[in-house]
A = this chain, B = another copy of it.
Amino acid sequence: MARTIKKTEKIISDAVVNRLPRYFRFLSELRRAGVERTSSTELSVLMGATASQIRQDLNCFGGFGQQGYGYSVPYLYENIASILGVDRDYRAIIVGTGNLGRALASSPVFEKRGVHVTALFDVDEKLIDTTFCGFRIKNMAELEAYCEKERPDIAVLTVPRGAAKDTAERLVAAGVKGIWNFTNIELTPDKAMVQNVHLGDTLMTLCYNVRKNEEQKKGTDAEDGSEEV
């Protein structure tokens, strides 16, 4: 997406948006360490980017820096938190309470980002009505009635891949605005935002880098004998 800046409107690129959570993470660390001020140079070391890119990124959000002073950590933190919607109190439901659903339900990942899990759903009779992390696991048959009443913003989709599409359609029809999708099926519904998480992709990138690193250490060409790819 190209970045265009109008007088009363800034549209920022997906690339910058995707970097924002990292800024938020590093600023959280600085804040936790009691650091009051930072600079584009310091942030560039933390982020592994150039100071100029940092300044450019932060300028997209109204240029919170001051020359000779740098950036106020709490101010920058609050602003990026607000841009990311961390102060919004989103409500989320977890759909699919297998190992991954339960791991997410019991992790601090939601609360730290202003997202509150309000219910867990499953189709498995053995799990329905059992309690996990203080939640009574609900029957998927109750989904529509629940959504109509409680209006969750986000659904965390951790159902088996075969059930991914149908479940996503039900969630969108029930008014869910965003799907955090762990099913490894790429979902692209019209009426809701989706963040597809493909854990396996990062594992494969790691495997690739391990292999490259070993080859470089050995100082040899790749297996095909002619090309290092």
Residue numbers of A with Cβ under 8 A of B are 8-12, 17-18, 20-22, 24-25, 60-62, 82-86, 88, 90, 98-100, 102-104, 106-107, 109-110, 112-115, 153-154, 177-180, 184, 186, 193-195, 197-211, 213-214, 221, 223, 226-229
Q: Given the interface contacts A202-B197, A227-B8, does A210 sit within 8 Å of B86 by beta carbon?
A: no
Contacts of A21 on B, CB cut-off 8 Å?
A: 198, 200-202, 204-205
User: In whole angstroms, how far apart are the Cα atoms of A9 and B224 in the complex?
Assistant: 11
The A contact surface, by secondary structure, is mixed
User: In whole angstroms, how far apart are the Cα atoms of A84 and B203 in the complex?
Assistant: 10
Q: Measured between C-beta atoms, what is the minimum distance from A150 to chain B in Å?
A: 16
Q: Are A209's CB and B195's CB within 8 A?
A: yes
- What are 10 contact pairs spanning A and B, CB under 8 A? A11-B228, A25-B186, A84-B208, A109-B203, A110-B203, A154-B206, A177-B214, A193-B210, A197-B199, A197-B202
Instruction: Say which residue of B60, B198, B210 sits within 8 Å of A153 (CB atoms).
Output: B210
Q: Given the interface contacts A25-B201, A221-B8, does A85 sit within 8 Å of B207 by beta carbon?
A: yes
Instruction: Say which residue of B177, B193, B211, B221 sits within 8 Å of A9 (CB atoms).
Output: B221
